[in-house]
Amino acid sequence: MNTIDTVVADGNEIFRYGLSSILSGQGSFNICSEIDNGALVLTAYESVQPQLCILSFEMPEMDGIVIAKKIIHRYPDANILILAHNTDQKTLDDFLDCGAYGLLHKSAHHIELIDAAQKVSQGNRYLGKEFSRMMTKEYMRLARQKKRHDPFKSVTKREKEILGLLVQGLTSAEIATKLYISPRTVDKHRTNLLKKLNQKNTASLVRYAMENERLLLGK
């Protein structure tokens, strides 16, 4: 059976030893290097060229996130699993920004650690249970916020019709003739559109409509 060459980096000797023991005990992981200093991880990675690199978020000399960015910059296909002390939004945001494949909290069960390590070593994404719940909650919050503040919902069918004609370059008089309404009515609808979509003038209104054509014009 082929083993997964692995580099393990953590500043705590006991945790690092336990982590390595859990993985090597599975028989599918070959611990090539154990590192206790963040500044030495990149050099070790370049030397070993592992299939998996496990980094702690907080490391002496250099944080895991910074290390991950440096490794990925040189080796875009690097499989990196980051272990975090905290389960806050900043930790999640930093992880998403660095480009690593996996994020797991240090309190995770050893079975989840093995599962995460195997998946990340194969180039798959993995988000620990706590962080996955955070992502779901944030997604739902943003979805609700978007639903509450969606400007398109307040635009009437007639306003969409007029906006579509404005995009085509028609004047108020031409729109009025085409829709059999007065130019004053057209101007009133245009004023309503400016307010609803928070635009300053007709030019910005048309540009906004073009950028959001499918949603606004129903195409």
Cα–Cα distances in Å, from 52 out to 11, 58, 152, 161, 198?
Answer: 18, 18, 46, 56, 49
Task: Give residue 206's pLDDT band: very low, low, confident or very high (50, 70, 90).
Answer: confident
Q: Is the pTM here over 0.95, yes or no? A: no
Residue with tokens 């599975």: 26
Is the pLDDT at 139 greater than 90? The verdict is no
Confidence of residue 149 (pLDDT cuts 50, 70, 90): low
| Secondary-structure class of domain 4-140 per CATH | alpha beta
Q: Which two tokens stand for residue 36?
A: 């206790």
Q: Where are the domains of the chain?
A: 4-140, 151-217
User: Which one is the CATH code of 151-217: 1.10.10.10, 3.40.50.300, 3.30.1490.20, 3.30.70.980?
Assistant: 1.10.10.10
Residue 156 has a CB neighbour count (10 Å cut-off) of 12
CA atoms within 13 A on the CB side of 97: 10
